[in-house]
Amino acid sequence: MSLEFTLSSPEPSTTAAEDKVHDVVIIGSGPAGFAAALYTSRAHLDTIVITGHELGGQVAATWEVDNYPGFPDGVTGPELVEKMQKHAERFGARFEMDQITAIDLSKRPFTLTGNVGTYAAKAVIVATGASPRKLNVPGEKELTGRGVSYCATCDGYFFQDKEIAVVGGGDSALEEALFLTRYAQVTIIHRRDELRAGPTMQKRARENEKIRFVWDSVVEEIIGDTAVRAVRLRNVKTGELSDLTVDGAFIVIGHPPNTQLFAGQLEMDQRGYLETDRRMRSNVQGVWVAGEAGDPDFRQVITSAGMGAAAAIEAQRWLAGQE
Ligand SMILES: Cc1cc2nc3c(=O)[nH]c(=O)nc-3n(C[C@H](O)[C@H](O)[C@H](O)COP(=O)(O)OP(=O)(O)OC[C@H]3O[C@@H](n4cnc5c(N)ncnc54)[C@H](O)[C@@H]3O)c2cc1C
């Protein structure tokens, strides 16, 4: 994370009624948003979390989280989300089921407009996360968490000595495939006859004896009942259909951050990840970024929650300095 931008400091405005201005508005109810809400509300800051369409964020969709400390036997995504929400609510954080559609960060208090309401905030923590791109084929949704995965670090461990398909041909797909060879035999399915990934990554993948390739093929369906059993492939050149027997299907075809809302106001890189410094500050004073909205590198519950806590501590210190 770098801070290669000029910090902008919006002028305070006198237009918004002070009694309607929240200390902190957190956009997003994933691990980053929950952790931020826990810290700001526990610091006695008036905190509102705007949940977005996906209460709990990405982790709400997973069956087993096996790598979050404090849960030695693992925990389901929905249970972890429920506990995180309750924890923040215990200290007074309030959750609004709304989706922010417009934001004005040019003057303070900041104004956020949602489908349901409008919110004014002294400080904003952006925790809008990212969304793995889906194949949108039959079986994908039903078998997510039952063999369909979007994260090798999260789920690779569950596939010891199994057969896995990795769908994709970019650097991320190859990186995930290489990581998965710690546990399993991997077949990379790619829709073209050459990879998009850089030469070094390609060389490593091609030289790895636990990786094989199926070229010119797209996934038409993911087959299974309580677990993935196979992927149905269509050769794009011949039209031929075939079933590849696998225990898991990792979809790695992109993972864009949910940051379009901030275009023109917050600095972002070419992929749309928001820029921050090591204190989670954005280029606008009073606005912090936590979790996957600004993190292309780690993409875990614990790292996102950690960034949420850090952003909240910073917001609390900054607000104290404003008084
Ligand atoms: C299927 C799956 C399984 C996973 N399993 C694991 C695992 O086992 N272990 C692990 O460590 N990690 C796992 N991950 C990764 C982990 O879920 C993410 O790293 C983490 O959820 C990121 O947290 P976040 O708070 O940054 O964002 P997200 O979880 O992406 O949450 C973003 C939040 O922002 C909200 N939002 C977005 N736009 C708006 C808007 N305009 N207005 C209001 N709200 C908005 C969304 O509704 C959502 O609540 C998994 C991911 C997936 C997809």
Chain segment 232-291, per-residue pLDDT in tens: 999 999 999 999 999 999 999 999 999 999 999 999 999 999 999 999 999 999 999 999
Q: Out of 19, 66, 98, 154, pick the active-site residue.
A: 154
- Which of 254, 55, 252, 257 has its CA nearest to residue 156? 252
Q: Separation of 11 CA from ligand 1 center, angstroms?
A: 33
In which band, very low, low, confident or very high, does the pLDDT at 7 lie, cut at 50, 70 and 90? low
pLDDT at 90 over 90: yes
Average pLDDT for residues 125-148, to the nearest whole number?
Answer: 96
Q: Out of 23, 98, 151, 247, pick the active-site residue.
A: 151
pLDDT at 43 over 80: yes
Q: Please tell me the distance from the alpha carbon of residue 134 to that of residue 108, in angstroms, as a whole number.
A: 38
In which band, very low, low, confident or very high, does the pLDDT at 20 lie, cut at 50, 70 and 90? confident
Q: Separation of 234 CA from ligand 1 center, angstroms?
A: 31
Return the pLDDT at 10: 74
3-state secondary structure 36-101: HHHHHHHCCCCEEEECCCCCCCHHHHCCCECCCCCCCCCECHHHHHHHHHHHHHHCCCEEECCCEE
**Range in 7-21, 30-44, 55-69 with the lowest mean pLDDT:** 7-21
Q: Residues 6 or more apart from 189 whose CB is under 8 A from it?
A: 165, 166, 167, 168, 214, 217, 218, 219, 231, 233, 244
| pLDDT tens-digit map of 100-119 | 999 999 999 999 999 999 99
Q: Please tell me which residue, 251 or 7, carries the higher pLDDT value.
A: 251
Q: Please tell me the distance from the alpha carbon of residue 123 to that of residue 231, in angstroms, as a whole number.
A: 47
User: What integer best gives the mean pLDDT of the chain?
Assistant: 93
Return the pLDDT at 5: 58
Name the percent of the chain lying above pLDDT 90: 89
Which of 149, 261, 276, 301 gets mutated to test ligand 1 (max ligand atoms within 8 A of its CB)? 301
Return the pLDDT at 63: 77
Cis geometry, peptide bond prior to residue 296 (ω within 30 degrees of 0): no
pLDDT at 166 over 50: yes
3-state secondary structure 237-279: CCCCEEEEECCEEEECCCCCECCHHHCCCCCECCCCCECCCCC
- Residue 210 near residue 185, CB atoms below 8 Å: yes
Average pLDDT for residues 297-323, to the nearest whole number?
Answer: 96
Q: Separation of 60 CA from ligand 1 center, angstroms?
A: 8
In which band, very low, low, confident or very high, does the pLDDT at 6 lie, cut at 50, 70 and 90? low
DSSP-based three-state secondary structure for 160: coil
**Range in 11-25, 153-167, 309-323 with the lowest mean pLDDT:** 11-25
- Which of 72, 213, 66 has its CA nearest to residue 145? 66
In which band, very low, low, confident or very high, does the pLDDT at 16 lie, cut at 50, 70 and 90? very low
**pTM above threshold 0.85:** yes
Kindly report the number of other CB atoms within 10 A of residue 22's CB atom: 21
Q: Please tell me which residue, 62 or 130, carries the higher pLDDT value.
A: 130
Report which protein residue has its CA nearest ligand 1's atom 6. 154
Q: Separation of 126 CA from ligand 1 center, angstroms?
A: 13
Please indicate whether residue 155 is annotated as part of the active site. Answer: yes
Q: Separation of 252 CA from ligand 1 center, angstroms?
A: 16
Report which protein residue has its CA nearest ligand 1's atom 15. 300
Domains of the chain: 11-131+255-322 (3.50.50.60), 148-251 (3.50.50.60)
The DSSP call for residue 6 is P
Please indicate whether residue 297 is annotated as part of the active site. Answer: no
**Range in 13-17, 38-42, 289-293 with the lowest mean pLDDT:** 13-17
Average pLDDT for residues 68-83, to the nearest whole number?
Answer: 95
- Indicate if ligand 1 lies below 6 Å from the C-beta of 127: yes
pLDDT at 14 over 60: no
In which band, very low, low, confident or very high, does the pLDDT at 15 lie, cut at 50, 70 and 90? very low
Return the pLDDT at 2: 46
| pLDDT tens-digit map of 192-233 | 999 988 899 999 999 999 999 999 999 999 999 999 999 999
- Indicate if ligand 1 lies below 6 Å from the C-beta of 59: yes
Atom of ligand 1 nearest to the CA of 59: 17
